[in-house]
Each structure stands twice: as C-alpha cells, then as structure tokens.
C-alpha cells in the first residue's frame, strides 16, 4: 500500500542515524551543544541494535504485522560523497522472518548537522537527521527538495528501552504528507553518545470507508561501544 510504503520510507530515512544508560546527570542540549554529540561513537566496530514492531490495520482486519531488527555498525575508513564531503561508513543489517538484508549508509557529522547519504551519495537524496541549534522549535527540511519538515519538540525526554533508560533525549517530529484522509506523525528520540534510541510512527484516517491505522515502534535493544 502506498501509504504504508511512504511512512516506512520516512522512518528509515531518519533512522539511518545521547544520554548515558541510567545516567540522570546528563544535561539537556542547548544552543551551543554540538550536533555531533548526539551520535554513537565513531570508532570502527561500534554497534547498536534496534527492534521494530509494526502493525497495519484496515478496520478490524490486520493487513500486515512484523517484527524486525536492524544492526548498525560503524565501519573503518571514510568515503567521499559526490558533493566533496567526507562521510563515515555505516553497515545496516536488517533481519525479518529469517531474511537478512545488508545496506550501507554514509554519515557526514559536524557540530552543526547530522546528514545521512544513501548509496547514490547525492546531496539531493541526503536526509538531515539533526540540525543546530538543538533547541525546542528549531526546524528543517528532511531533504533539500522535500516537503517533510522536522521539528525539535523536546530536549528533556526520558526513554526506557531494553538497553537501558536514557535521560534528556531530543525528540524530533516529522510530518509526512499523507493527503486529506490520513494524518501521520513520526517521532524520533536521540540520546547523547548513542543516536536514535526510539522511534514511533502513527498514521490514522479513513480509506475507502474503513478506518486505517498503522503503528510502528522501534526501541534500542542493545549497544556495544
């Protein structure tokens, strides 16, 4: 379904992305906090695993449900993008129903922004994960030629995951355009020194006279660095 595909594309784009575990002393970010602090360690071999549960319903009928894990591992070396920037290399391994798929993302990480490239390495296809200043209300376009706008809605979120509890996380909301009959929100939670520790996608509306609902919840299962 087109609606489901677009929502998952939005979630994936933002994911191919800190607070410390159970550390209540971590302070919220402010206008001078570097964006680069909100990513996992960049040493080769650093790794996080997220587990995602998604359910799509039309009326009372479940059209699709799945459980998927994604392992993100920092690789050695860097790669130059087509616009001349040096990018970190990230290996992404997805696992669902015993099926594995491997892809690579390329991250340009600075004090001002966190930008993720896909295999094309083209600037117009890159997604802006975070952008300075890290303050409530700051907003930006997900892609340079896109209509999806991301907004920082909180910098004091507490997120509980199987990998631990993270304090003072950044919550970024994206509003993908679904048309008149369906509304959707995508919320992403960034923890200092870890990256994305949780994301939620919710789409609801009326499609062909039926109530359409899609929910996606992904949380950090483990980290190694």
pLDDT-based confidence at residue 210 (cuts at 50, 70, 90): confident
Which parts of the chain are beta strand (E)? Answer: 47-58, 61-80, 86-96, 99-109, 113-117, 127-131, 139-141, 149-161, 164-174, 182-191, 195-207, 210-224
192 closest CA partner among 36, 31, 12: 36
Q: In this predicted model, what pLDDT tens digit does every residue of 173-191 receive, in sequence order?
A: 998 766 667 888 999 999 9
Q: Which domains, and CATH codes, for the chain?
A: 2-224 (2.40.360)
Measured CA to CA in angstroms, residue 117 lies from 3, 137, 183, 204 at distances of 24, 25, 27, 30
Q: What is the DSSP letter of 21?
A: B
**pTM to 2 decimals?**
0.87
Q: In this predicted model, what pLDDT tens digit does every residue of 148-174 receive, in sequence order?
A: 899 999 999 999 999 999 999 999 999
Residues 71 and 81: their CA atoms lie apart, in Å, by: 23
pLDDT-based confidence at residue 105 (cuts at 50, 70, 90): very high
Mean residue pLDDT across the chain: 89
Residues 73 and 75: their CA atoms lie apart, in Å, by: 6
* Of the listed ranges 1-10, 91-100, 116-125, 205-214, the one predicted with least confidence: 1-10
Helix spans in the chain (H): 2-15
pLDDT-based confidence at residue 61 (cuts at 50, 70, 90): very high
């Amino acid at each position: 379904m087109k609606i489901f595909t677009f929502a998952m594309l939005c979630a994936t784009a933002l994911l191919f992305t800190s607070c410390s575990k159970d550390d209540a002393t971590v302070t919220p970010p402010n206008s001078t906090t570097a964006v680069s602090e909100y990513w996992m360690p960049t040493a080769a071999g650093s790794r996080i695993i997220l587990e995602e549960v998604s359910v799509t319903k039309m009326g009372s009928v479940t059209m699709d449900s799945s459980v998927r894990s994604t392992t993100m591992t920092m690789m050695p070396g860097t790669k130059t993008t087509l616009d001349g920037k040096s990018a970190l290399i990230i290996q992404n391994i997805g696992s669902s129903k015993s099926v594995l798929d491997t892809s690579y993302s390329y991250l340009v990480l600075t004090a001002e922004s966190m930008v993720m490239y896909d295999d094309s390495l083209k600037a117009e296809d890159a997604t802006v994960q975070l952008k300075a200043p890290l303050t409530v209300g700051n907003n930006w376009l997900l892609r340079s030629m896109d209509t999806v706008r991301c907004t920082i809605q909180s910098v004091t979120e507490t997120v509980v995951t199987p990998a631990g509890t993270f304090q003072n996380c950044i919550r970024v909301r994206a509003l993908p355009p679904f048309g008149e009959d369906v509304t959707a929100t995508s919320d992403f939670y960034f923890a200092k020194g870890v990256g994305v520790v949780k994301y939620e996608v919710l789409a609801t509306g009326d499609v062909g006279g039926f109530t359409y609902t899609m929910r996606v919840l992904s949380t950090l299962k483990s980290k190694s660095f």
